[in-house]
Chain A
Amino acid sequence: MRPLYETQRLMRGLRRAALQRGVIAILDLGTSKTACLVLRFDDAAAPRTDGVGPMAGQARFRVIGHAVTRSRGVRFGEVDSMGETERAIRTAVQAAQKDAQVRVDHVIVCLSGARPQSFGLHGEAEVEGPMVDGWDIGRALASCEVPDMGPGREVLHAQPVNWLLDHRAGLSDPRGQVGERLATDLHLLSVDGAAIETLLLCLKRCDLECAGIASSAYVAGLSSLVEDEQELGAVCIDMGGGSTGLSIFMKKHMIHADSVRLGGEHVTSDISMGLQVPMAVAERIKTLHGGVVATGKDDRELIPIGGDTGDWEHDRRVVSRTELIGIMRPRMEEILEEVRARLDLAGFDHLPGQSIVLTGGASLIPGLDGLAARILGRRVRMGRPLRVQGLPVAATGAAFSAAVGLTLFAAHPQDEWWDFEMPPDRQSARSFRRAVKWFKDNW
């Protein structure tokens, strides 16, 4: 297969084509659920009422189809069994297509696993013309020294987050400005190449064309962080089923992303093992009665566990809610401690604003915000995704923040490395210029 860099370029073209056709699908391929939204892009449909702004750029599209299904064959946010994953994708896409009554060919997908790793890159270049133009930006980006990402790693996101022109720092868009030396800070997120290849292959086998791929931590941050949190610095912790993603935002750019390979399914498996019940029953008990903060009342709340072994005693066990919390809490604490460690590693302490936003399906456990505040020790709030047009009420919960973020990503993608033209002859031109300079200096 071709390198992911070129694939990303192709995906940009496909996304543009899909927007012209007006219909694109969003696929959030998570560990516990697969959500598919069908978006219709229609400029004319945007409500143009006085006093209503562009609604953070999400008024241009409308959700016309929606489907959620149980995920199959995904573990830790990575494709584990391709056949099962295809079944899940087919179920979700077919139901969403039926809901929208339109066929979708292009899909934008997000994945939460594949061990993301962040790198901060720096590159600089001389400005050739009087003003900074796209070529200068391309050269500045091309001059970034790509770090050793390890074998089999690919670039998922490479976003310029900061521009410096001579001594002016913190420019958001240097194009057209006058200066001599252009420098950039680039945030590069690398993931396991094989996981992405597998995912792309799954989509291909479902007759879908991938028009974009994003990290779910990033898109969850896009949808659940409010604007000033993105501006001042915040972390979005997307607690999914198989992995917990965290993305740190600053000045409206993601500057760091990481992932903990623990999630809500681990809590379920703990309950399953602790209470000796099937996973499905454990999941049901967790969602109906789960919690992380025990009170005295919970001792009296007895939960029937059920079972169909035929053993009357075994099938009529009850467990108090305190016991359940006693099983769930250590795992949640473990997850949050792990997140804490990753945040410390990323230097989250040095950000001006330090809001912590919990989102994702596993964050719906009652009392989690108190526990998170105790462990992460900062201002913690529960995040819900932005409201977009046509989104059904069933998909407005925290579990859908990655899917909603993907819709925003589809409408307004951040400029990435591959959106700028690379100077084709960057090596040869440099050496040729050096030779000319040498001649000028000596004769």
Chain B
Amino acid sequence: MRALIVLWRLTLPSLLRGSAAIAPGERRDPAPSVWAYRYQRLMLTPVYRRLVHVGLPVGLVLLMGALWLASADHRAALATRVESIKDAVQERDAFMVTALEIAGADAALSAAIREVARIDLPVSSFDLDLDALRARITDLTAVRSAQVRVLPGGALEIAVVQRVPVAVWRYADGLRLIDAEGAMTGMIGERGDRADLPLIAGDGAKDAIDEALALFSAAAPIAPRVRGLVRMGERRWDMVLDRDQRILLPTSGAVAALERAIALQQAQGLLDRDVAVVDLRLGERPTLRLNPVALSSLRAQAAAAATPPPAAPIPEDH
């Protein structure tokens, strides 16, 4: 300690006195050393200047950060801290969804949507994937389109436009409901469940649903007797009435042909007679097929009325 004090007392005056004494009349005449000169020139070089003033501090900070992150504990701590801050922000009341509102859907569809959406309320709106939710809801057959949005106040609104079934399609696997676009909206167990809807059948029936609906509306005068429409060969319709009567309609102009048959019915009671098939496929030659009993009685009458020649038999086409 004493040695230190002595050293300090020795050095202090020399520090205070500054550099070597200058002779009077002589000016102090310092010159930079070679290294001071080179250092100054280096620091005046723009690249080095920028390197030292910007690059060095930035590099130091990055280095310190990298060293700190080199430890796995630090990384984990940082990750949890980031997560907690993120959660704290996301779970504020302003961002929470507390209610689910479904608009435009009946009870069954609402249940189906709730089933599909699978949302555990309350949930943060950051965790909701609205696009995926909308895609899942739109995938439901009964939904035509859906809008999903988070309303202010924390409610998730799902507005759907439901498909309206217009016909029942009897298909291999059962009875399907189809809407005016031919899309299936659901299935029913028995025809009686939706007795109000007309019935169609046959392959490709749903693709020609427009024509089917037009035919059903044209058949309004004989509506009580109509059992349904059958698509034949994916190109034309047969209208099936009760008593196993059929009206065979052409590929094109089916509505006009049906109206013609209905006009015949209204004028002459065609369909009330013992006719099995009204074949309108050839417009210039509508053909009737009678039941065997009617045919035999017709033949007997004809034979009684006049001797031959008898009427030519109606060719059967199937």
Contacts and interface: CB of A to CB of B under 8 A. Distances in A.
Contact of B25 (A70, A98, A101, A280): A280
Interface in A172-215: 206-207
Contact of A207 (B25, B31, B32, B38): B38
Contact of B27 (A97, A103, A280, A308): A280
Interface of B: 23-27, 29-32, 34, 36-38, 40-41, 44-45
B31 A87 contact: yes
A287 B289 CA distance: 146
A377 interface: no
A280 B32 CA distance: 22
A281 interface: yes
B25 A90 contact: no
A355 interface: no
12 contacts: A69-B31, A87-B31, A90-B32, A93-B37, A94-B37, A97-B40, A98-B40, A103-B41, A278-B25, A280-B27, A306-B25, A308-B23
A123 B44 CA distance: 48
Contact of A97 (B26, B34, B44): B44
Contacts of A94: 32, 36-37, 40-41
A97 B39 CA distance: 12
A77 to B, nearest CB: 20
Interface in A49-108: 69-70, 72, 87-88, 90-91, 93-94, 97-98, 101-103
Given A91-B30, A94-B40, A98-B40, 20 more contacts: A70-B27, A72-B29, A88-B31, A90-B32, A91-B31, A91-B32, A94-B37, A94-B41, A97-B40, A97-B41, A97-B44, A103-B41, A103-B45, A207-B38, A207-B41, A278-B23, A278-B25, A278-B26, A280-B25, A308-B23
B23 to A, nearest CB: 8
Which A-B residue pairs are the 7 nearest by beta carbons?
A103-B44, A87-B31, A280-B25, A90-B37, A91-B31, A281-B25, A280-B26
Contacts of B30: 91
Contacts of A278: 23, 25-26
Interface of A: 69-70, 72, 87-88, 90-91, 93-94, 97-98, 101-103, 206-207, 278, 280-281, 284, 306, 308
A327 B164 CA distance: 128
A90 B44 contact: no
A102 B44 contact: yes
Nearest to A206: B37
Contacts of A91: 30-32
Contacts of A87: 31
B28 to A, nearest CB: 11
A84 B79 CA distance: 64
Contacts of A207: 37-38, 41
A8 B38 CA distance: 27
Contacts of B36: 94
B29 A308 contact: no
Contacts of A93: 37
A102 B41 CA distance: 9
Contacts of B45: 103
A26 B36 CA distance: 21
Contacts of A284: 25
A338 B254 CA distance: 135
A80 to B, nearest CB: 16
Contacts of B38: 207
Contacts of A280: 23, 25-27
A268 to B, nearest CB: 13
A151 B159 CA distance: 107
B29 A70 contact: yes
A243 to B, nearest CB: 23
A102 B32 CA distance: 17
A88 B31 CA distance: 7
Nearest to B38: A207
A87 B29 CA distance: 10
A27 to B, nearest CB: 14
A278 B31 CA distance: 22
A90 B31 contact: yes
Contacts of A88: 31
Contacts of B27: 70, 280
A91 B33 CA distance: 9
Nearest to B37: A90
A406 to B, nearest CB: 21
Nearest to B40: A94
Nearest to A101: B44
Contacts of A101: 44
B31 to A, nearest CB: 4
